[in-house]
Structure 1
Amino acid sequence: MMPPIAVIGTGIAGLSAAQVLHAAGQSIELFDKSRGSGGRMASKRSEAGSLDLGAQYFTARDRRFVEVVQQWQTRGWVTQWQPSLYNAQDGQLSTSPDEQVRWVGIPHMSAITHAMLDTLPARFNCRITEVFRGDRYWNLLDADGNSYGPYSQVIIAIPAPQATSLLAAAPKLAGAAASVAMEPTWSVALGFNSALDTRVEGCFVQDSSLDWLARNHSKPGRNKQLDTWVLHASSAWSRQHLDLSGEAVIEQLHGAFAELIGCAVPPPSFTLAHRWLYARPAQSHQWGALADADLGLYACGDWCLSGRVEGAWLSGQEAARRLLEHLQ
């Protein structure tokens, strides 16, 4: 009997691939360095309830992804979010004409990956640092020196800079992953005891330290005890202030938010900062997924395509398709 397939990373890409393999009758084992699934779709539990600090929403354009999102909606994992949307430029707020359909997980973004994971075997708090091949099969090594294996194939579904070293056995794939630049994002949550006097529920920001802000509790199914807001700094600002303390980041972005929102902003009763080192790829690629089928090593993620949630899901599908094709 052939050993199972290892999937490293339980964000949308890794779980998309795992679902296809599981449906095809393959035995799989998942690994993730975090405490739970989701990757950049993860929500953070806090005293202000669950907060979407990473992906704020997602869109569906590809026919295959549109179909799967409709299934998720039927199962109650996602719903549409229709925020009162604004643009901010040169400090001026204007309503946004954007009519894009936006989807969010219920009651938080990570609900989607929790549901996708379901009963698949996963090992969390386990950071894989090496993927190496024996005579026939693969083995994995974690940061604590534990080894896992054997595995017949390995799918690496983590951000490109982290995937690069795990792809060392396939220099061509490692080179492709190493060529991908990923942008950082500082994310800040603010909570206010009484609701701010503004109609804004989502806002795209230009020419500022901020890139985006959202009224978290305007999303369906969210905790409404506090008026919670999530602010995303721009990639350029985040890159320049990568090593700033969380407190300093909160102070600066809170200041920018107060200037922009057009109403009185009291001191927040709750604050939280999170740094996404690899928030999004700097540009799109058309790889679909990376594969060395003869070796049995694959890589997938949003960075193989569009940098969006949809791209991550499609990339996972492609990695699994190529793997299964090779097994036939």
Structure 2
Amino acid sequence: MKRWLRQRVDDAYEQLLSREISGAPTHVAVIQDGNRRYARQQGDDAPQGHRDGAKTTERVLEWCQDVGVEELTLYTFSTENFDRPDEENEELFDLLCEKLHEFADADRVHDNEVRIRAIGAVERLPERVRDAVEYADRRTQEYDRFVLNIALAYGGRSQLLEAVQGVADDVDAGTLEPDEIDVETIENRLYERPVRDVDLIIRTGGDERTSNFLPWHANGNEAAVFFCTPYWPEFSKTDFLRGIRTYESREESWRRTRARRAMALLGAVGDTELTEAQSVVERFRDSLPTAEQPDPDELDGVDASQLENVDSSGRAAN
């Protein structure tokens, strides 16, 4: 009876969260932690924990598509994982091969035009895994409605180091001038194909750290982070929706902060900065509590030309 009642409560809470969510992040990155601890808790070995976790991965892919997420990155195998016992890694590599082929051939992947690709030092992986990666990439290369990134042999710090070394080599060779180096210069050297900025990082398993995961795309974008205690095989749709709600709260807080800063600038800056501040307040006025909202008459005179310094997301240009 208790299990039945708990399920009813969980279902009701999931429905409530679904109704509360009004938007979704574009790019969600997930640290799938806790497979091995879950297996030990169940009296199983680590490979069984990875298999149970793979089922959760399939469900999360569906949940992302349900709420409107456009890109999902899964931290599947880090560079540090090479230090684990060979027999455990070999079974995990077998599972990766199996799932990559399964995903690449699945009707739901092709019906939803899911692009599957790997990021990381894939060349360090066994040949059978590299072949599976290439197969999934080739089978889905024409799609772009949804992107699924599998982070394999991945380490964010090493990726950044390699990108910077590439820039230094180009400068040394005379093919790149120092004053030409910008954000795009680094991004083009991080991955073979573009990765969107991360809006939300989810980590399961109870640890509250991001473990060197997508530092350029997450930290630079001030991504929201949601830590939760369930091990990855236990991760539920309710947990997922709570993560989405964390992102929405983070975005709303950012909008309020932006509007308040702009309000504070209105009486203390020159004409150029004043125009920008007025534009920001106009766009984000509804994010402020009613008592803090300025009178619309105070913002009269802001025409379309004055909005040129604010991009489509509402962030003022530097």
TM-score normalised by L of structure 2: 0.27
Larger Rg: 2
The structure, 1 or 2, with the larger RCO (C-alpha pairs under 8 Å, 6+ apart) is: 1
Q: Which has the higher strand share?
A: 1
